[in-house]
């Protein structure tokens, strides 16, 4: 039936940040915006069965208390009564699934003395405003309430975003949250964004040596070893080290493209670098836009630390016995997952090679190409071994070129002066970095080399299926 479809659910939903009474007049403007995506709530991001549908989701600017109101001129009542009819979407119940159960239809805007929960961990400024970042654990009742209220934003603004399950007892302790608040006159604050961080325990495989040492005869069978190992976990025999995985990361649209994401990410990294129990700071399924923010921040941090010197570049390119030890040691200091650490190191190596005035540029780039390809081969060995040898060479080389192009793109965003030498070389030889070079034989890669060992973690593997080679 024509005329009853709302083809763009995003446009029918309006989200508002509403200042409560008592806010300074300079900050009393209601800020409105639309969702970035609604496909997880409405199939195909369309809604059926309404004319002139308007959905208003409002939040108080301070504590993010929400309200929801659904209005329309007409609603189709009879659709879906037969198998051939399209069912009318139950708009309000579908959205309320992601809001607290007591969410009203009218927003309470009474004045309050709300103060952000948690510890104040950073202050920074934009051209016009002052901002604070607060860190809290979700065992904090106020912090947990704010996170519950804002879970719908994770679904509406994060690709494949999901909500946090706090129903299990003790689960809240596993989550930290960081809030960004704009600081206003008269001790008022306005919510700008948040990030949740999942802390999950892991242990190092080497710890099993403790159990083996306790076996005087060294002849314990595998079943008994497993029993002892599990009991050691239950008895807290291991240090409570953990990974702090960045999960939901949302900057509200009125505050986007103002540097808040960089400030929030760097604050999170600084916080867990200072915690000796935090072993690693990975990111859960980052979007391309977030990956750029992360790459630039991590590059800046490692470059400032002077991690990759000419001597380090030479040591890594020689691919000797020291390489593994250096990578493991420095990665643990940086608290980065292996893939991210290697990508940033390779980008710094490329920049260092382009800055090098003593060695032949093309020769050094060829050595770097082999170095990166070895990493890509080990990382994607299972996929590559499904291909014929010639196809394997082509696929590996294409992946390498994509990686190198991405490094150059990021260095360009960073305004790296090292790229000037590359452009001069390209102009002289008409060989741009993204052009096809002669493919090296895959025999330069040690196909039988075992993959690098990873620390074992008490976390189920990701359900996400990779459909392409991981770079």
Question: What sign results for the dihedral spanned by CA atoms 276, 282, 283, 285?
Answer: negative
Q: Report percent pLDDT > 90 for the chain.
A: 68
> Cα–chain-centroid distance for residue 281?
10
Confirm whether 302 is domain-assigned: yes
Is 250 marked as a binding-site residue?
A: yes
- 284 and 312 in a single domain? The answer is no
Helix (H) or strand (E) holding 106: none
Decide if pLDDT at 124 tops 50: yes
Q: Both 284 and 300 in a single domain?
A: no
Percent of the chain with pLDDT over 70: 80
Q: Is residue 457 part of a domain?
A: no
Q: Which of 96, 131, 153 is the last residue of a domain?
A: 96
**Higher-confidence position of 233 and 45:** 45
- In a shared domain, residues 159 and 204: yes
Structural domain contains residue 460: no
* 459 part of a folded domain: no
Domain count, the chain: 3
Domain ranges, residue 55: 5-96
Residue 13 sits in a domain whose CATH number is 3.90.360.10
Mean pLDDT of 196-211: 67
How many Cα atoms occupy the beta-carbon half-sphere of 308 within 13 Å? 27
The CA distance from 461 to 33, in Å, is: 36
Q: Are residues 167 and 281 in the same domain?
A: yes
pLDDT given for residue 232 in this prediction: 54
Answer yes or no: is 179 within a domain. Answer: yes
Helix or strand run (H / E) with residue 244: strand 242-251
Other Cβ atoms closer than 10 A to 130:
12
| Same domain for 258 and 235 | yes
Shared domain check, 23 and 143: no
In the predicted structure, residue 115 carries a pLDDT above the cut 70: yes
In the sheet where 54-60 sits, what is the strand order?
Answer: 31-33, 13-18, 54-60, 66-71
Give yes or no for residue 100 having a pLDDT over 90.
Answer: yes
Active site residues: 284
My answer on whether 268 and 337 are in the same domain is no
d(CA 8, CA 14): 12
User: How many angstroms separate the CA atoms of 76 and 87, rounded?
Assistant: 9
pLDDT of residue 235: 54
* Predicted local distance difference test score (pLDDT) of residue 456: 34
Both tokens of 196, joined, read: 């949740």
29: left (phi over 0), alpha (psi -120 to 50) or beta: beta
Residues 296 and 344 in one domain: yes
109 part of a folded domain: no
pLDDT of residue 226: 58
Is the pLDDT at 469 greater than 90? The verdict is no
What number is the average pLDDT over the span 97-116?
96
| pLDDT band, residue 220 (cuts 50/70/90) | low
pTM listed for this prediction: 0.84
Per-residue pLDDT of 232-287, as tens digits, reads 555 554 458 899 999 999 999 999 999 999 999 999 999 999 999 999 999 999 99
**CA–CA separation, 212 and 141 (whole Å):** 44
Lowest-confidence segment of 256-260, 361-365, 432-436 by average pLDDT: 432-436
Residue 465 has pLDDT above 70, yes or no: no
Does 339 score more than 50 pLDDT? yes
> Are 236 and 353 in the same domain?
no
Q: How far apart are CA 130 and CA 455, in angstroms?
A: 41
Question: Same domain, yes or no, for 85 and 191?
Answer: no
| Domain shared by 406 and 295, yes or no | yes
Measured on CA atoms in the order 76, 80, 81, 82, is the torsion positive or negative?
positive
Question: 229: annotated binding-site residue?
Answer: no
Instruction: State the pLDDT confidence band at 166, using cuts at 50, 70 and 90.
Output: confident
Is position 344 annotated in a ligand binding site? no
Predicted pLDDT of residue 224 = 63
- Contacts of residue 12, Cβ cutoff 8 Å, sequence gap at least 6: 6, 47, 53, 54, 55
In a domain, 110, yes or no: no
Same domain, 306 and 218: no
Residue 309 and residue 345 in contact, taking contact as beta carbons nearer than 8 Å: no
């Amino acid at each position: 039936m024509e005329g009853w479809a709302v083809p763009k659910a995003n446009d029918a939903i309006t989200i508002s940040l509403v200042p409560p009474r008592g806010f300074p007049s300079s900050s009393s403007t209601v800020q409105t915006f639309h969702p970035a995506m609604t496909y997880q709530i409405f199939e195909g991001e369309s809604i059926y069965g309404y004319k002139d549908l308007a959905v208003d989701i409002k939040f108080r600017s301070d504590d993010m208390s929400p309200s929801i109101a659904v209005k329309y001129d007409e609603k189709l009542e009879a659709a879906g009564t037969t198998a051939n009819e399209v069912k009318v979407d139950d708009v309000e119940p579908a959205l309320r699934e992601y809001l607290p159960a007591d969410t009203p239809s009218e927003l309470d805007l009474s004045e309050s003395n709300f103060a952000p929960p948690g510890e104040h961990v950073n202050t920074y400024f934009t051209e016009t405003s002052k901002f604070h970042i607060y860190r809290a654990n979700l065992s904090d009742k106020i912090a947990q309430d704010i996170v519950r209220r804002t879970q719908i934003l994770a679904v509406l603004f994060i690709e494949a975003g999901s909500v946090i399950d706090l129903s299990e007892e003790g689960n809240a302790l596993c989550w930290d949250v960081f809030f960004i608040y704009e600081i206003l006159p008269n001790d008022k604050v306005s919510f700008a964004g948040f990030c949740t961080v999942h802390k999950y325990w892991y242990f190092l495989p080497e710890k099993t040596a403790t159990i083996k040492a306790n076996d005087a005869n060294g002849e314990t069978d595998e079943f008994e070893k497993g029993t002892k190992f599990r009991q050691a976990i239950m008895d807290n025999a291991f240090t409570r080290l953990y990974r702090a995985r960045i999960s939901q990361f949302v900057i509200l649209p009125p505050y986007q493209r103002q540097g808040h994401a960089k400030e929030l990410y760097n604050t999170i990294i600084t916080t867990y670098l200072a915690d000796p129990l935090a072993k690693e700071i990975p990111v859960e399924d980052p979007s391309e836009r977030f990956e750029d923010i992360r790459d630039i921040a991590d590059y800046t941090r490692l470059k400032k630390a002077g991690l990759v010197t000419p001597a380090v570049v030479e040591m890594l390119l020689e691919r000797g016995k020291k390489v593994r030890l250096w990578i493991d040691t420095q990665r643990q200091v940086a608290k980065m997952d292996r893939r991210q650490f290697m990508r940033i190191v390779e980008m710094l190596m490329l920049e260092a090679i382009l800055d090098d005035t003593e060695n032949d540029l093309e020769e050094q780039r060829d050595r770097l190409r082999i170095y990166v390809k070895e990493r890509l081969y080990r990382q994607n060995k299972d996929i590559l071994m499904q291909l014929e040898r010639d196809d394997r060479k082509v696929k590996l080389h294409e992946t390498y070129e994509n990686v190198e192009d991405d490094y150059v793109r990021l260095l360009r965003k960073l305004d790296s002066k090292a790229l000037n030498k590359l452009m001069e070389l390209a102009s002289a030889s008409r060989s741009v970095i993204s052009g096809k070079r002669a493919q090296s034989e895959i025999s330069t890669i040690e196909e039988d080399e075992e993959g690098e060992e990873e620390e074992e973690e008490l976390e189920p593997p990701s359900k996400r299926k990779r459909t392409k080679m991981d770079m």
